[in-house]
Structure 1
Amino acid sequence: MPMDRRTLIRRTAAVTGGTALGGLAAPALAADEPAPGESGSSLETAGGATVLPADGRYAPLTTGNNMRFAARPDYIKMIKSTADAAKALGDAVRAGKRVVARSGGHCFADFVSHPDVKVILDFSELNRVGYDPAMRAFSVEPGARLLNVYESLYKGWGVTIPGGTCYGVGIGGHVAGGGYGLLSRRHGLVVDHLYAVEVVVTDAAGNTRVVRATREANDPDRDLWWAHTGGGGGNFGLVTRYWFRSPGATGTAPGAQLISPPSNVLVNAVGIPWSQLDEQGFTRLLKNYGAWFEANSAPDSRNRHLNSILNISSQANGVIGMFTQVDATVPGAAQLMDEYLSAVTAGTGARARALDRPNGELPAMPQLAAARQLPWLQATRLIGTSNSTLNDPTMRGAHKSGYLRANFTDAQVAAVYAAMTDPGYRNARTMLVLFPVGGQVNAVAPDATAYPQRSASLKMLFQTFWNDPAQDATHLGWLRGFYGRFFAATGGVPGLGGQSDGCYVNYPDTDMADPAQNTSGVPWHALYYKDNYARLQQVKKRYDPGNVFRHGLSVTLPKN
């Protein structure tokens, strides 16, 4: 629709107010989105609020999703624009204050909520989604939550990104580590569709500049784009905008620039009762599941249209949960679903039933005991918004990760069974979550993006949750023991290039940098970044020479 001169001035001011940004254009907006300031508010030009310790908002803004970690910053700055971010960063650096950025607050480690942090820059209010015709790409600001991104892209243009299932994750951190979801076996990772990134960077003196880096081969800042395709959050600068355009997209129509999800999906949720499983049956279940995805991990696998989360909950929960989704528009979708479910449960002695209780990452979904067809967006809302564990505001948790390139070994299955049936640890909110990868995730070369695990079949999330701070040592110690036993053959951590293949940086675990926990001799950065780490260090040297952006697993400056 036409834009009058007054609206154009307002929108431009939202970006340029307060700091010179070298002529950057205003953020792209959806056609029906009101211009900043239309209600008379001056927040867009004045910048976001500064929250001090005496402010009632301070306490909830010092923590994220995991209550194990809390910061005591001098202040929290709410960021409203790129100019706001640049000024806030420069002010903090010149004052000698350690500064960190937060988008959704779902970091599993203490990268943001750390006692040494003096300034938190909170991007949750920088959250617009729109189409940018000049970039021929979709613009998403870092504070946008995943479900809001999906709804905006799909309702506005019929497109999406293959992101995660947890609705509250902020896009800022999700993209930086790679970004994985139920559509990834079919469409790859989120970063495989990242076209450009806007980053506020700084030198050691606190001088800031805004860099817009694209994947174009002739872009002099292309390495900064590359570093944000799996190089982890909090390493190089402040991301203020991402642009998404799928590789090979042609023309100028917005709906042709990004992948479209299936209009309908076939979904199924079941619980496999622990009461029906002995160790032999449990072993068969895990081996069946691992074998199916190992056999169907090739990029061109006809079964890449199916994805299935297996939530191996503790015996104290009562059931092992499994959620399966298939593109309903693919010929033979119902047959594929039936064959898969039969293959996973074959020979276990157990009969799948309705998932009638929350099961770790999965909500109760008794209505899906028999597979049924749902519109894609409805299915995405269903699994994304009902996680009772992650919606608990008093939740404390510990998390570890690993990739498998080949099926579970007998020793690994035995370790899982012993942990989940441990009579001395009866915690219904303990689980090993299995996320299949492969398919189009494995169609990309390991060095084409910063995300290097391009030959795996499964991604694993080891986690346990509790509420009482006095029990931290008990729960953390138990999880460390389980993880160490699972990877005992490779020094207590996932080995590289063999049956296992390192860790996922979006599930960060500072134990990997602790020689008391990682006895493998493999450095933490190899577990997360493999051979891509040296290149990430060179990007760090160029764009963050003062090491302003740092945390427990941050990319370090090279020695030369």
Structure 2
Amino acid sequence: MVKLNSILAHLAFAHLAVSIPTDYGTTTTSNKTLIGCLDAANVPLISASDADYAPAVMPFNLRLPFFPVVVVVPTTAEHVSSAVKCAGAFKTKVAARSGGHSYAAFGLGGADGSLMIDMKKFRDVIVDPNTFIATVGSGLRLGDVATRLYNDARRGLPHGTCPGVGIAGHALHGGFGYMSRMWGTTLDNIVEMEVVLANGDIVTASKSTNPDLYWALRGAGSSFGIVTNFKFTTYPAPGSGVRASWSWTLDDSASDTVEKKVKIFQALQDFSEESAPSNIVFGVFMTNGFIDVSCVYWGPRAEFDTLIAPLVASFPQDGLPTPTIADYPYIDLLVVLGGGEQLPQPENYTKHDTFFTKSIVAPTKLTTKSLTSFFTFLGERGVEPSLSWFVIADLYGGKYSNIAAQDPAGSSYAIRDSFFTFQLYSNIDGANPPVTAYPPWGFEYMNEMSRSITEPQPETKFQAYVNYVDPSLSPQEAHELYYGSNYQRLRELKGRYDPELLFWNPQAIGTS
């Protein structure tokens, strides 16, 4: 959810070269047949021989270049329907891309040879003046949605902080941000969708219309259809918010450093579990010798000062840092949380990095044993030349969180009982522009970092967050970690709505 400004800054690179396989430079007979089908239906497309193909297929994660057989750029739901029908006729897998921010490049198909449907032209935002339900095109990015809702109606929607993330993938697989403990996940606020099914039908999915499809889409959407627009519940935007942070720079070689880090995190866990109201959320950013506890409180500064005092008193007082605290108007605070990046986004995504990420969903507090193991690992193994890393822990739960308050049976989203969710992110240190090579040993290093948290706490059933997708997981591992006990029903519904597995990526429902 959160990236510090320094991390966000080095992710912003554009215009990198992509090496296209030579056999994609010309169109084979079978490809001509598929493209002929698309042309006959007047579907806008980019073929592999077109000059704009290379930038169109550049992934966010340069470690994972994949090459669709054709890129469809629809402007209507009928275009999407025709493209899906053509793909089905010629046995070509389909992947939809909303923003292009997939950690595993699943928007490109996660393998060569898919038909990619780029939804970037679906950019409408319409707020009903009576119900304040917002109709949002699936090609918009979070920054666009936030700006349009606020400018048009002074409304807000819970979502992540990075302005360039696409709304569709974000919402269909969860979506969490600094308003979520107050308003739920992005997914929880979907009231209706227009969706194209694997047979090309254009249908509505809501609680009362196609309820099984509605259940499946809200948690595993990329496996069940292509959403062309959403209808979201929106909320009156807060007038202002308070952002605060406490940053410790610690000597990892000192004997008491691990103990101090453990006490900092335990203090936050204890406060978050019983005392944190729904209008506050915390994020913890950790890297070599550094730990930062930050929060946003949607309310007046005076209320915040009173609320936060017990937490501050419970932190280790030796070396307690002076906090950075500031008030911001709502829309200005969204800019700050996005690393200072402007909220309105270009139509084409131009950020790239070379990275590998793990995630951990912790439904309960981390024990002293787990925290000690984790911070010991960071102290002993935190410096690995050529690889840079950070860990972010985001507060989901607690007694007053409105994420856990949602009906768990109401959607296929399986991690709403999370207490903290961790993102473990590694990339090539100092590469500017980013390179495509990631060190092979980095995968096991990040797995060891993950295990340093989970293995000392075997009594806890840890899961993972699909929006931080880990392509190194087998389908079976991914389905267990992302969907848990919901997977069997999802698989049955996949057989009903997409028996040929047309909507596919390496971890799609039905691949195990």
> Which position in structure 1 is the counterpart of 2:117?
121
Contact 1:291 1:407 in 2 (8 A): no
Counterpart AA for 1:86: S
Q: CA deviation at 1:47?
A: 6.8
Counterpart AA for 1:457: F
Structure 2 residue 463 is matched with structure 1 residue 505 = no
> Which position in structure 2 is the counterpart of 1:350?
319
Contact 2:360 2:450 in 1 (8 A): no
Kindly provide the CA deviation profile for residues 49-68 of structure 1, in whole angstroms up to 9, marking residues without a partner as x: 42222333212221321111
Contact 1:104 1:143 in 2 (8 A): yes
Q: CA deviation at 1:290?
A: 4.2
Whole-angstrom distance in 1 between the partners of 2:279 and 2:67: 46
> Which position in structure 2 is the counterpart of 1:539?
493
Kindly provide the CA deviation profile for residues 163-209 of structure 1, in whole angstroms up to 9, marking residues without a partner as x: 10111100010011111111111111112211011110023xxxx10
Whole-angstrom distance in 2 between the partners of 1:141 and 1:414: 45
Cα 1:96–1:428 change in 2 (3 A) is closer
Q: CA deviation at 1:557?
A: 7.6
Cα 1:53–1:290 change in 2 (3 A) is farther
1:177 pairs with one of 161, 169, 173 = 173
Across the aligned residues of Structure 1 and Structure 2, the Cα RMSD in angstroms comes to 2.8
Structure 2 residue 126 is matched with structure 1 residue 130 = yes
Q: CA deviation at 1:373?
A: 1.0
Give 5+ residue unaligned stretches, structure 2: 1-40, 343-348, 429-433
Cα 1:284–1:261 change in 2 (3 A) is farther
1:222 pairs with one of 197, 206, 211 = 211
Q: CA deviation at 1:396?
A: 0.6
Whole-angstrom distance in 2 between the partners of 1:124 and 1:274: 44
Instruction: Describe how 1:18-417 pairs up with structure 2 within 5 A.
Output: 49-113=44-108, 114-132=110-128, 137-203=133-199, 208-216=200-208, 219=209, 221-231=210-220, 233-245=221-233, 258-275=234-251, 278=254, 280-297=256-273, 303-315=277-289, 319-329=290-300, 332-343=303-314, 345-347=315-317, 349-352=318-321, 370-386=324-340, 393-417=351-375
> Which position in structure 2 is the counterpart of 1:443?
405
Kindly provide the CA deviation profile for residues 193-250 of structure 1, in whole angstroms up to 9, marking residues without a partner as x: 11011110023xxxx101101123xx3x01111112222x4200111111112xxxxx
Higher RCO (CA-CA < 8 Å; seq separation 6+) = 2
Whole-angstrom distance in 2 between the partners of 1:305 and 1:427: 40
> Which position in structure 1 is the counterpart of 2:26?
none
| SS across alignment from 2:446 | helix
| SS across alignment from 1:272 | strand
Cα 1:48–1:340 change in 2 (3 A) is farther
| SS across alignment from 2:404 | helix
Counterpart AA for 2:111: P
Cα 1:420–1:409 change in 2 (3 A) is same
Whole-angstrom distance in 2 between the partners of 1:281 and 1:304: 31
Kindly provide the CA deviation profile for residues 265-292 of structure 1, in whole angstroms up to 9, marking residues without a partner as x: 0112343213388453444334433453
Instruction: Describe how 1:517-528 pairs up with structure 2 within 5 A.
Output: 523-528=477-482
TM-score after normalising by structure 2: 0.81
Contact 1:63 1:69 in 2 (8 A): no
Percent identity between the two aligned chains = 22
Kindly provide the CA deviation profile for residues 121-180 of structure 1, in whole angstroms up to 9, marking residues without a partner as x: 111221221125799721111111001101111121121111101111000100111111
> Which position in structure 2 is the counterpart of 1:434?
393
Structure 2 residue 452 is matched with structure 1 residue 485 = yes
Q: CA deviation at 1:330?
A: 8.2
Q: Which stretch has the larger CA shift, 114-123 or 547-556? A: 114-123
Contact 1:313 1:428 in 2 (8 A): no
Whole-angstrom distance in 2 between the partners of 1:464 and 1:456: 23
Q: Which stretch has the larger CA shift, 189-198 or 538-547? A: 538-547
Contact 1:123 1:143 in 2 (8 A): yes
| SS across alignment from 2:197 | strand
Counterpart AA for 2:211: R
2:484 pairs with one of 524, 530, 535 = 530
Contact 2:71 2:117 in 1 (8 A): yes
Q: CA deviation at 1:489?
A: 4.4
Cα 1:78–1:283 change in 2 (3 A) is farther
Structure 2 residue 457 is matched with structure 1 residue 461 = no
Whole-angstrom distance in 1 between the partners of 2:425 and 2:184: 25
Whole-angstrom distance in 2 between the partners of 1:146 and 1:474: 34
Contact 1:47 1:80 in 2 (8 A): no
TM-score after normalising by structure 1: 0.75
Whole-angstrom distance in 2 between the partners of 1:292 and 1:48: 53
Cα 1:410–1:511 change in 2 (3 A) is farther
Give 5+ residue unaligned stretches, structure 1: 1-45, 246-257, 354-368, 515-521
| SS across alignment from 1:178 | coil
Counterpart AA for 1:229: R
| SS across alignment from 1:435 | strand
Aligned residues: 456
Counterpart AA for 1:336: L
Contact 1:306 1:327 in 2 (8 A): yes
| SS across alignment from 2:500 | coil
